Structure 1
């Protein structure tokens, strides 16, 4: 392998994450503009979407699902509740736990968010075959599972050790 091929091989893993990041930022930017009329703050559509998909979810499960810390989720939940998109109710059998449900306004907003998501999926996946889409899903899930180990470790206060990958 010559030097330019070696350099390309070393850059390819970074390119995968760069591409994933660019796709995520494009979709997030579009969504933040598209959902302004709903009076949703940046990123709140993610929380509302997951609550509508999982009525009765508890805040810790929601944070885990979205991959954010509990404090960030708590702020978003409080804002969604104060804006009338969701309600918090005591959980049956455990009054200390709260469960989250969408309101009528939340469900109405969710329907618009859901339609936008379908459109974004169609645009993003345009030109890919079903097999390519399934392969992409499998590969992305494997990558997510790989990084979730570190995410959970760091979330609990751990620090990753970095080794020189050139060896």
Structure 2
């Protein structure tokens, strides 16, 4: 069987480590840049959807959002029709930091695809989307309390 998870894990850990180092200067701690980026890309997103996008449980997402809210990077606003629903937005402070996050992401993406033709890069992206779609099925099942059968 072709091993893909180890290289994917290595790539993910390396880029996460680099990003965490880069964002220390703007007071973003481990992984917080991911939350800032997704909220900036999806203004008004709700916590449950944010957790799904990042493939983390709701408690982990809530804890990270609370820290970013306290730090003044994100804010929660009540939904216009259902006041129980809180929507997430980037604050003015977060808007100042987001371009750095975006720039780092673009640089890392370009670096990772160095030497690939545009067609190869598109094909790789397509393959990775398929891998993600396969894996997310188990992620959802496990989050719902199911156990995988090996």
Distance 2:145 2:25 in 1: 38
TM-score where L is the length of structure 2: 0.98
> Shift of the alpha carbon at 1:133?
0.4
TM-score where L is the length of structure 1: 0.88
Match of 1:70 among 30, 40, 58: 58
Distance 1:64 1:122 in 2: 25
Distance 1:87 1:155 in 2: 27
Query: 1:57-111: per-residue Cα shift (whole Å, max 9, x none)?
Result: 0000100111100000000000000000011011110000000010011011111
Match of 1:45 in 2: 33
> Shift of the alpha carbon at 1:134?
0.8
Secondary structure, counterpart of 2:45 in structure 1: coil
Query: 1:29-76: per-residue Cα shift (whole Å, max 9, x none)?
Result: 000000001111100100000000111000001001111000000000
Match of 1:25 among 13, 33, 53: 13
Distance 1:96 1:148 in 2: 28
- Is structure 2 residue 93 aligned with structure 1 residue 143? no
Match of 2:92 in 1: 104
Indicate the structure (1 or 2) with the bigger Cα radius of gyration: 1
- Give the gaps of 5 or more residues in structure 1: 1-9, 163-167
Match of 1:82 in 2: 70
> Shift of the alpha carbon at 1:138?
0.8
4+ runs of 1 displaced by more than 6 Å?
none
| Aligned pairs for 1:5-20 within 5 A | 10=1, 12=2, 14=3, 16-20=4-8
- Give the gaps of 5 or more residues in structure 2: none
Instruction: Please tell me the root mean square deviation across aligned C-alpha atoms, in Å.
Output: 0.7
